[in-house]
A and B are shown apart, each in its own frame.
Chain A
Amino acid sequence: MIRGVDLQLASCHGCELVIRMRDVDHDAIAVCPRCGAPVRFRKRNASSHVLALVVAAAALYFPANALTIMYTEQFPERRADTILSGVKFLWGRGSWALAAIVFTASILVPVLKLGALGFLVISTIRHSAWRPRARTRLYRALEVVGHWSMLDVFVVALLTAVVQLGQFARVSPGPAVLPFAGVVLLTMLASASFDARAIWDLDRGSGRGGYE
Chain B
Amino acid sequence: MRARSGTWTEDLAAVGMSDPVDPRLEDLPVPVSRRRKRGWPSAVWIVPVLAVVAAGALAIRAYLEAGPTIEITFDSAEGLEVGKSDVRYKNVPVGKISSVELVPDQPRILVTVKLERGAASLAVKDSRFWVERPRIGVGGVSGVGTLLSGAYIGVDRGTSKEQVDQFVGLEKPPGLTHDQVGRRFRITAADAGSLGVQSPVYLRRQQVGWISELALSPDGKRVDIEVFVNAPYDRDVTDTAVFWNASGLDVSIDASGLRLDTQSLATVVAGGIALGFRDGDPPGRPAAEGAQFNLFEDRAHALARPDRTRLPLAMRFHEPLRGVGPGTQIDFEGVRIGQIDTLNLGYDAIRHQFFSDVDATVYPERLGAAYAALVDEGKRRDKAGPEMLQALVARGLRAQLRSASLITGQLFIALRWFPNARSAAPVVERDGVWVVPTERGGTDQIQDQVESIVAKIDRIPFDAIGGDTRDAMHAATSLLGHLDRDVVPTAQQLVGQAGAAMTALRDSLGALRDNVAAPDSAIQQTARSTLEQLESAARSLRGLADYLQHHPESILRGRASGSEPR
Partner of B50, one of A10, A34, A56, A205: A56
Contact in complex: A20, B44 (CB < 8 Å): no
Contact in complex: B62, A6 (CB < 8 Å): no
Known contacts being A28-B33, A208-B14, is A62 close to B55, with CB within 8 Å? yes
Known contacts being A67-B62, A206-B14, is A19 close to B33, with CB within 8 Å? no
Contact in complex: A30, B48 (CB < 8 Å): no
- Residues in A23-53 with C-beta less than 8 Å from chain B: 23-34, 38-41, 45, 48-49, 52-53
Contact in complex: A19, B55 (CB < 8 Å): no
Known contacts being A5-B15, A19-B31, A175-B58, is A29 close to B36, with CB within 8 Å? yes
Partner of B7, one of A17, A29, A53: A29
- Residues in B2-54 with C-beta less than 8 Å from chain A: 2-3, 5-9, 11-12, 14-17, 21-22, 25-26, 28-36, 42, 44-45, 47-52, 54
A100 within 8 A of B: no
Partner of B55, one of A17, A39, A63, A206: A63
Contact in complex: B31, A33 (CB < 8 Å): yes
Query: For B139, what are the chain A residues with a Cβ–Cβ distance below 8 Å?
Result: none
Contact in complex: B31, A7 (CB < 8 Å): no
Contact in complex: B31, A60 (CB < 8 Å): no
Contact in complex: A63, B58 (CB < 8 Å): yes
Known contacts being A8-B17, A52-B44, A62-B59, is A19 close to B148, with CB within 8 Å? no
B84 within 8 A of A: yes
Query: For A163, what are the chain B residues with a Cβ–Cβ distance below 8 Å?
Result: none
- Write out, one digit per residue, whether chain B residues 399-425 have a CB within 8 A of any chain A CB (1) or not (0): 000000000000000000000000000
A159 within 8 A of B: no
Complex formed: what's the CA distance from A140 to B102 in Å? 56
CB closest chain-B residue, reference A61: B55
Contact in complex: A56, B29 (CB < 8 Å): no
Known contacts being A6-B15, A34-B29, is A59 close to B55, with CB within 8 Å? yes
Query: For B47, what are the chain A residues with a Cβ–Cβ distance below 8 Å?
Result: 52-53, 56, 186
Partner of A30, one of B26, B33, B52, B58: B33
Complex formed: what's the CA distance from A56 to B51 in Å? 5
Partner of B30, one of A22, A27, A56, A211: A22
Contact in complex: B2, A210 (CB < 8 Å): yes
Query: For A31, what are the chain B residues with a Cβ–Cβ distance below 8 Å?
Result: 31-34
B149 within 8 A of A: yes
Q: Which of B2, B58, B149 has the most CB of A within 10 A?
A: B58
Complex formed: what's the CA distance from A179 to B58 in Å? 9
Complex formed: what's the CA distance from A67 to B33 in Å? 51
Closest-CB distance, B96 to chain A (whole angstroms):
9
Partner of B8, one of A33, A41, A62: A41
A107 within 8 A of B: no
Contact in complex: B11, A211 (CB < 8 Å): yes
Known contacts being A19-B30, A210-B2, is A52 close to B48, with CB within 8 Å? yes
Contact in complex: B7, A32 (CB < 8 Å): no
Query: For B42, what are the chain A residues with a Cβ–Cβ distance below 8 Å?
Result: 45, 48-49
Query: For B56, what are the chain A residues with a Cβ–Cβ distance below 8 Å?
Result: 59
- Residues in A148-207 with C-beta less than 8 Å from chain B: 175, 179, 182, 186, 205-206
A141 within 8 A of B: no
Closest-CB distance, B39 to chain A (whole angstroms):
10
Known contacts being A24-B8, A48-B3, A179-B55, is A211 close to B84, with CB within 8 Å? no
Contact in complex: A20, B26 (CB < 8 Å): yes
Contact in complex: B31, A41 (CB < 8 Å): no
Closest-CB distance, B511 to chain A (whole angstroms):
130
Known contacts being A40-B8, A48-B42, A56-B51, is A32 close to B31, with CB within 8 Å? yes
Query: For B7, what are the chain A residues with a Cβ–Cβ distance below 8 Å?
Result: 24, 26-29
Query: For A5, what are the chain B residues with a Cβ–Cβ distance below 8 Å?
Result: 11, 15
Partner of A20, one of B29, B34, B50: B29
Closest-CB distance, A103 to chain B (whole angstroms):
20
Complex formed: what's the CA distance from A212 to B54 in Å? 31
B325 within 8 A of A: no
- Write out, one digit per residue, whether chain A residues 1-21 have a CB within 8 A of any chain B CB (1) or not (0): 000011111100000011111
Partner of B51, one of A29, A40, A57: A57
Interface residues on A, range: 35 or more
Query: For B45, what are the chain A residues with a Cβ–Cβ distance below 8 Å?
Result: 48, 52
B150 within 8 A of A: yes
Partner of B12, one of A21, A28, A53: A21
Contact in complex: B48, A59 (CB < 8 Å): yes
Query: For B58, what are the chain A residues with a Cβ–Cβ distance below 8 Å?
Result: 63, 67, 175, 179
A101 within 8 A of B: no
Closest-CB distance, A26 to chain B (whole angstroms):
6
Complex formed: what's the CA distance from A1 to B55 in Å? 44
A92 within 8 A of B: no
Closest-CB distance, B31 to chain A (whole angstroms):
3
Query: For B15, what are the chain A residues with a Cβ–Cβ distance below 8 Å?
Result: 5-6, 211
Contact in complex: A212, B28 (CB < 8 Å): no
Contact in complex: A76, B148 (CB < 8 Å): yes
Query: For A20, what are the chain B residues with a Cβ–Cβ distance below 8 Å?
Result: 25-26, 28-30
Partner of B59, one of A10, A21, A39, A63: A63
Closest-CB distance, A197 to chain B (whole angstroms):
13
Contact in complex: A60, B33 (CB < 8 Å): no
Contact in complex: A60, B8 (CB < 8 Å): no
A122 within 8 A of B: no
Contact in complex: B36, A28 (CB < 8 Å): yes
A116 within 8 A of B: no
A112 within 8 A of B: no
CB closest chain-A residue, reference B50: A56
Complex formed: what's the CA distance from A55 to B1 in Å? 17
Closest-CB distance, A110 to chain B (whole angstroms):
14
Known contacts being A41-B11, A211-B15, is A7 close to B51, with CB within 8 Å? no
CB closest chain-A residue, reference B35: A28
Closest-CB distance, B324 to chain A (whole angstroms):
65
- Write out, one digit per residue, whether chain A residues 52-77 have a CB within 8 A of any chain B CB (1) or not (0): 11011101101100110000000111
Complex formed: what's the CA distance from A24 to B35 in Å? 10
- Residues in B122-172 with C-beta less than 8 Å from chain A: 148-150
CB closest chain-B residue, reference A80: B96
Query: For B1, what are the chain A residues with a Cβ–Cβ distance below 8 Å?
Result: 48
Closest-CB distance, B20 to chain A (whole angstroms):
11
Query: For B59, what are the chain A residues with a Cβ–Cβ distance below 8 Å?
Result: 62-63, 66
A and B contact pairs by CB, cutoff 8 A, 5 listed: A29-B34, A30-B32, A41-B11, A49-B44, A53-B48
Q: Which 6 A-B pairs have the closest CB atoms?
A: A56-B51, A30-B31, A56-B48, A55-B48, A28-B33, A63-B58
> Interface on B for A, CB 8 Å cutoff?
1-3, 5-9, 11-12, 14-17, 21-22, 25-26, 28-36, 42, 44-45, 47-52, 54-56, 58-59, 62, 84, 148-150
7 other A-B residue contacts (CB within 8 Å) besides A20-B26, A60-B55, A179-B58: A20-B30, A24-B7, A26-B7, A28-B7, A29-B8, A182-B54, A212-B2
